[in-house]
Chain A
Amino acid sequence: MPRLALGEWVDGAVDWLQSHLSWLFDAVSSVVTGMYDGISAALTAPQPLLFAGILAVLAWWLRGLTAGVLAFAGFALVDSIELWNDAMSTLSLVLVATVVTLAIAVPLGIWASRSRAVSAVTKPVLDFMQTMPAMVYLIPGIIFFGVGVVPGIIATIIFALPPGVRMTELGIRQVDGDLVEAAEAFGTSPRNTLTRVQLPLALPTIMAGVNQVIMLGLSMVVIAGMVGGGGLGGAVYRAIGNVDIGLGFEAGVSIVILAMYLDRITGGLGRQVSPLGRRAAAKARAAAGGLRIRHYRPRPVVAVAGVVVLALVAGGLNLFGGAGKSATAAGGDDVGQGRKVTLGYIPWDEGVASTFLWKELLERRGFDVDAQQYEAGALYTGMANGQIDAQTDSWLPTTHATYWKKYGDKLEDLGSWYGPTSLELSVPSYVKGIDSLADLKGRAGQFKGRIVGIEPSAGEMGLLKDKVLKQYGLEGEYKVVDGSTPGMLAELKRAYAKKEPIVTTLWSPHWAYSSYDLKKLEDPKGAWGEGDGVHTLARKGFAQDNPEVTAWLKGFKMTEQQLTGLEAEIQETGKGKEQEAVRAWLDEHPDLAEKWAPAPGGASAASRNADGKDERARPLNVAWFPWEEDIAATYLWKAVLERRGYTMNLQQFEVGPMYAALSRGQIDVQFDGWLPTTQKRYWDAYGDKLNDLGSWYGPTSLEIAVPDYVKGVDSLADLKGKGGQFKGRIVGIEPGTETMNILKKKVLPGYGLDGEYEVVDSSTPGMLAELKRAYAKKEPVAVMLWTPHWAYDQYGLTKLKDPKKTFGGGDRLHTVASEEFPRQYPQLTKWFKDFKLSDKQLAGLENEIQKAGAGHEEEAVKTWMDRNPGITDTLAPL
């Protein structure tokens, strides 16, 4: 039987999809993320107990008083075991998945119910979707959408879609054909038949489908937790990784509470929305005697009112809480404190560029900047009146000499930021024989007697008309066409494309010189005068009002390359998006913002990242696996960096997804890179998008260890023939890790053990639990271990020698960061590069954590740090 390369084909297809449809995936990802964030924000906004109250009122209305009380008790329990936020993010995930699923499933089900062909096509597809193990969807999900909630939600949608479609189709098909015929016989249109007869009657079945969709969604949350979906699933996954029974149970119970609540509520909702169900419920209530209060239900109006009141209270509380927070939100960046600065500009390219550049810079520094376009005359008048604070496009001493003469005493010159400039007439280089202004004489016919000008108010136009044309005797021959700068450029573009002769009024610097091949006409008589500098002007008194801004503007200088680059960026991005272009340009030139508008005081220069922002503003996403040395390093840095004002998000991962997330920048850094051997395949796959910040510990070694009460086994070779003693098992760790691959593919065959021993796939905590159990009973056991590991301190273990070096050379532990990391976190990059732990330090720290137990890592690290004073300054010197 030939091997069909089915997996490879799917691989190929996924690769193709990723490279060709990434825009689609990005769009899906941002829509789903947006929905999730919105719902999550709404759910976590109110006080937990208040929100539990809202949910309880809902249950009361739909199911009765008992249900309401139980719902409140359940959610109060979730809150008390501190899983409230996890529960709410799980609820958000389920809600988003449900909404999207229903938005697809119900119309599809309706369609399938009306067309046999659609039904026949969807049936096998739905079967496939439902029976394919849902975890399989996660693999391409990660590739397409990265880690986080999105692949979890997408996998949930795919998994939960089939019952939604099926139940809708079934519900509609189940509606008595006589009723549909009756509707048709009374002239009902197909659409009304659907909405008035089929859907109302199918509603109970459809609601059962909704219920199933939600339940399947909940069953997926644990799987979503594996790819960083967070929430209760993440908690369960964390618990599995740490063999933390307590956390596992708490998270599990929370899921159960959520599931039961959602199940009962959708059941009750199904009864409320369907007319038949409402009637049946009313009948049952009438029939049931007993305590009236137990059967009392608030009327929908009362229930809605109750929910609204509670929500308002919740919102109100949140408002007060929020107000307290936002007052402290301002950081060292906020120089402006919302002060208003009005910039004016003339629609000349360097004016637009520099004005929007400063608008962006000042806004980053907390100013409220208003940039207005003016005609040159109006601009100077406005500044003289004090209505406009500053402008950056004053051509002095020549071009704007008239304005300066008139208003100079009411203005302040903050100096030239660019120069020298020159004014000139230009012709395209394909116009032969014209190199200087003098050459224009007698050639008016060729140019239709026109010189294409700019705004009539521009100083250059005055110079041209009054001085230049006269000096070269061209004034009768040529007419200067008044227009605008964009008009002139458009005309130039048009003529250039058709290779028509044209004379334009231009100046340097201008991007037109880089876009077109133009000749500046020489001015041997010096009619244009000296070259101007481009000056920044401010109104009188601005310097007193805004000393920082004045200082920044005085120090402002741009090179020709910077200016033309920025102008070209603005030109490409298009009109109305000037500030976006500036931002993009600043991103490409990360140091300039800090250089031009340094924030006084506040964060030290070293902790400013490339965007000129305090790198601490952005939470640091750190991935970790439940391996001891990683827990130690990660929590150590968490403690140190929190003292330095950083916030850190820790996310537990599998190795593969973690590297994928790092390469996409979803994770910033991880400390447990076993390189060059163990994690080689991940480094090979993603290394070009990662930064290795160096090793902090090493060398390590991999080995098989046996307890020292097992006598006569000192090297791997000694294991031969003793399979019976060890029940033929070597207890391994997570399958798929390189360590395990080496063990199975190299070590066992290397010593001829592969027939005799089976490597048991497990997890690190599982392996350690097995070791602990066997050690306590003094049973022989062989486990996969590595150095450094606290187990060597805890138990008497023999590392089996590996004379054939089948495990390969020792790895070192590297800090691996995302591609963008050094740019985003220059200070951290430096600290992480210098990060080193000695054997003693690491073992001590690991031991402390082991002693404190799972869930108490932070306290353990604190204890250890207290015993090692000065560690913070060693690791993160200021």
Chain B
Amino acid sequence: MSRFPLVRAAEDVSVHHLCERPLHGLPSGATGRHIATREVYVSRLQADGLYKVFGRAPDEAVRRLEAGADRGELRADGTTAAVIDASFTVEPGQIFVVMGLSGSGKSTLLRMLNGLLEPTAGRVLFDGRDLTSLPARDLRRVRATKISMVFQHFALFPHRSVLENAAYGLEVQGVPRAEREQRAAEALELCGLGGWAASWPNELSGGMQQRVGLARALATDADLLLMDESFSALDPLIRRDMQDQLLELQKRLKKTIVFITHDLNEAMRLGDRIAVMRDGRIVQLGSAEDILLRPEGDYVASFIQDVDRSRVLTASAVMTAPDRPDAGQCDCPSVAPDTTVAELCAVSARVPHPVAVRDPEGNVVGTVPQQKLVAFVGGDDEPQGRPAACGDAARPAAVKTASQNTEKEAAHA
């Protein structure tokens, strides 16, 4: 199987080699730090060869997995390898999405990040501190102050009011009542639940309950937010709302977020970087565009078929170098590099020639010929010569792959 060629940095203790392959389309803030030399730099969160094996003789199982044994071989002995050799880094302010189908080990992985589960092998470094070696007491302290969590089924305490729920983390920290209630109220306000402090969780709708969960996580002022399929239990409209709100909040708060989801669209929408997991292993690690444009292996490729690429990919991903010096010289509309392909289509329909892509300073950085755009939306990099209406182009393919995908999921289950 084609594993993402991630080089492990197990030799270092609290720093890591910046020797990942330079990733295309990585947000500039993060890419800028990635220089191809050895550097002493501490990520917010670093997972380092994490293994989690349930069952008998876990250490023995890890040895066998390292020697190349398969997950299936172990299962025959009654041991389950939930996470196998997972390594990644998360930078401050990033939303890191772990995407995978159920049973792929993503929730287990998340619970190792804050020490709810102890890794069978490997380390978790948080701000350079090895969480796996911390005594239980210190680990609890870290969880209380630095890392908070939002759950799939909200996990609100039914015997506490909304305000008391939001204040829970602060209560654990031992913050005096008046202060914690004020901070909890602020967090609720931030999540749009200003008037609901005195209500009880079971009086709220699902979306509102999850906002309480989010407020509870934000109230502690933790640096790292772990979100475990937090929006999966909500209906699609609310889910979209919540995604928007999360992105909105993230713009203001600049938290570091690890987000778990089984929904690739959600992953693409939210993730600065995405790790795709399958059978306990990370099979691809990269930006949304990386995964869409350069899927590693058939699994990821089949996975991304039902993604509405036009809403994920941007002009910068499809543009070619300006083919003519006069490109963009006319008064025709041009687009910014981060314009989505969907919007690009609309522009392209009105423009007779390739659409110019301009950076914020107005310089032309590339052009998008209509042919290429059509090919792209059709799911193929090569032009097919079949003109199609921009907006409808993706639909048939989407329907087809959606059904395929359902079959695949059923097989998986």
Across the interface, name the chain B residue whose C-beta is closest to A178.
Answer: B155
Q: Which of A178, A188, A279 contacts B151 (CB 8 A)?
A: A178
Take A200-B159, A276-B158 as given contacts and tell me if A181 and B172 are in contact as well, using a CB distance cutoff of 8 Å.
no
Complex Cα–Cα for A182 and B216 (A): 11
Q: Which residues of B contact A279 (CB under 8 A)?
A: 200
Across the interface, name the chain B residue whose C-beta is closest to A180.
Answer: B155
- A192 contacts the other chain (CB 8 A): yes
Question: Are B153 and A178 interface neighbours, CB within 8 A?
Answer: yes
Fill in one digit per residue for A260-277: 1 if any B CB lies within 8 Å of its CB, else 0: 000000000000001110
- B132 contacts the other chain (CB 8 A): no
Which DSSP category, helix, strand, loop or mixed, fits chain B's interface?
Answer: mixed
Complex Cα–Cα for A201 and B160 (A): 10
- A197 contacts the other chain (CB 8 A): yes
Take A192-B172, A279-B200 as given contacts and tell me if A185 and B148 are in contact as well, using a CB distance cutoff of 8 Å.
yes
> Which residues of chain A from 163 to 213 have a CB within 8 Å of any chain B CB?
176, 178-179, 181-189, 192, 197, 200-201
Q: Which of A185, A192, A275, A276 contacts B149 (CB 8 A)?
A: A185
Looking at B31-39, B137-145, B400-408, the stretch in contact with chain A turns out to be: B137-145
CB distance from A678 to the nearest CB of B (A): 65
- B116 contacts the other chain (CB 8 A): yes
Fill in one digit per residue for B206-218: 1 if any A CB lies within 8 Å of its CB, else 0: 0000000000100
Question: Are B157 and A181 interface neighbours, CB within 8 A?
Answer: no
Query: Which range holds the interface residue count of chain B?
Result: 20 to 34
Q: Which residues of B contact A186 (CB under 8 A)?
A: 143-144, 148-149, 168-169, 172, 216, 220
Complex Cα–Cα for A183 and B149 (A): 10
Q: Which of B137, B151, B159, B220 contacts A182 (CB 8 A)?
A: B151
Complex Cα–Cα for A756 and B159 (A): 71
- B114 contacts the other chain (CB 8 A): yes
Q: Which residues of B contact A276 (CB under 8 A)?
A: 158-159
Across the interface, name the chain B residue whose C-beta is closest to A188.
Answer: B172
Q: Which residues of A contact B153 (CB under 8 A)?
A: 178
Complex Cα–Cα for A294 and B353 (A): 83
Across the interface, name the chain B residue whose C-beta is closest to A200.
Answer: B159
Question: Are B159 and A201 interface neighbours, CB within 8 A?
Answer: yes
Q: Which of A176, A187, A201 contacts B172 (CB 8 A)?
A: A187
Across the interface, name the chain A residue whose C-beta is closest to B139.
Answer: A187
> Which residues of chain B from 321 to 368 have a CB within 8 Å of any chain A CB?
none
Complex Cα–Cα for A197 and B164 (A): 12
Q: Which residues of B contact A201 (CB under 8 A)?
A: 157-159
CB distance from A595 to the nearest CB of B (A): 72
CB distance from A116 to the nearest CB of B (A): 16
> Which residues of chain B from 219 to 247 have a CB within 8 Å of any chain A CB?
220, 226
Fill in one digit per residue for B288-319: 1 if any A CB lies within 8 Å of its CB, else 0: 00000000000000000000000000000000
Across the interface, name the chain A residue whose C-beta is closest to B143.
Answer: A187
CB distance from B185 to the nearest CB of A (A): 18
CB distance from B82 to the nearest CB of A (A): 16
Question: Are B157 and A197 interface neighbours, CB within 8 A?
Answer: yes
Complex Cα–Cα for A179 and B145 (A): 19
Take A187-B144, A188-B140, A276-B158 as given contacts and tell me if A182 and B149 are in contact as well, using a CB distance cutoff of 8 Å.
yes
Q: Which residues of B contact A176 (CB under 8 A)?
A: 155
Q: Which of B140, B155, B216 contacts A187 (CB 8 A)?
A: B140
Q: Which residues of A contact B159 (CB under 8 A)?
A: 200-201, 274-276
Q: Which residues of B contact A181 (CB under 8 A)?
A: 116, 151, 155
Question: Are A184 and B157 interface neighbours, CB within 8 A?
Answer: no
Across the interface, name the chain B residue whose C-beta is closest to A193.
Answer: B172
Q: Which residues of A contact B200 (CB under 8 A)?
A: 279
Complex Cα–Cα for A188 and B116 (A): 11
Q: Which residues of A contact B149 (CB under 8 A)?
A: 182, 185-186
Across the interface, name the chain A residue whose C-beta is closest to B160.
Answer: A275
Question: Are B155 and A182 interface neighbours, CB within 8 A?
Answer: yes
Question: Are A184 and B116 interface neighbours, CB within 8 A?
Answer: yes
Interface centre among A184, A185, A192 (most CB of B within 10 A): A185
Q: Which residues of A contact B116 (CB under 8 A)?
A: 181, 184-185
Complex Cα–Cα for A520 and B142 (A): 82
Other CB < 8 Å A-B pairs besides A185-B147, A186-B143, A187-B140, 7 of them?
A: A185-B114, A187-B172, A188-B144, A189-B140, A197-B157, A200-B159, A275-B160
List 30 A-B residue pairs with CB atoms under 8 Å apart, sorted by A's residue number.
A176-B155, A178-B153, A179-B155, A182-B149, A182-B151, A182-B157, A185-B114, A185-B149, A185-B151, A186-B144, A186-B148, A186-B149, A186-B168, A186-B169, A186-B220, A187-B141, A187-B143, A187-B144, A187-B169, A188-B144, A188-B172, A189-B137, A197-B157, A200-B159, A201-B158, A201-B159, A274-B159, A275-B159, A275-B160, A276-B159
Nearest 4 CB-CB pairs, A to B?
Answer: A187-B144, A187-B143, A182-B155, A185-B149
